[in-house]
Amino acid sequence: MAEPLRILVAEDSETDAELVQRELKRGGLDFQSRRVQTESDFRRELDEFQPHLVISDFSMPQFSGPKALAIARESRADIPFIFISGTIGENVAVDMMKAGANDYVMKNNLARLVPALKRELREAEVRRARRFAEER
């Protein structure tokens, strides 16, 4: 039996975090998740929980999605990172993709989340395999 997918969720709204969890369950994923709201908690969980994927709100009162992306990229460059937002504009989304985000999903279209997550996990595995082959 494969281990459950570990997902770190940076989200200040408990309601929105529950909506994300509900969508992941609806998508048939076997997962464990942890929700954080601060930079220190994000750093700790990135290290201790060792998530397979990060889902982050773009705008939070105590912590920002772009900061979460920068931290994730500096500590675990290959981890898939998906923004969710109710307010992100197209230009900002493009900027975040250029900064290293793998995808973004609007909160009013969470049906896109599971397909995006599955695609990014597959692509991360391909990147890891390619890097491993190049190192040999």
Residue 59 DSSP one-character state:
B
In degrees, to the nearest 5, what angle opens at C-alpha 91 toward C-alphas 59 and 66?
35
Alpha-carbon distance of 61 to 5, in angstroms, equals 28
pTM of the predicted model, to two decimals?
0.92
User: Binning pLDDT at 50, 70 and 90, where does residue 2 land?
Assistant: confident
Residue 78 DSSP one-character state:
T
The tokens describing 130, both together, are: 């390619």
Is residue 1 over pLDDT 60?
Answer: no
Residue burial 55-71, b: 16+ Cβ < 10 Å; e: rest: bbbbebeebbbbebbeb
Residue type, 82: I
Domains and CATH numbers, the chain: 5-135 (3.40.50.2300)
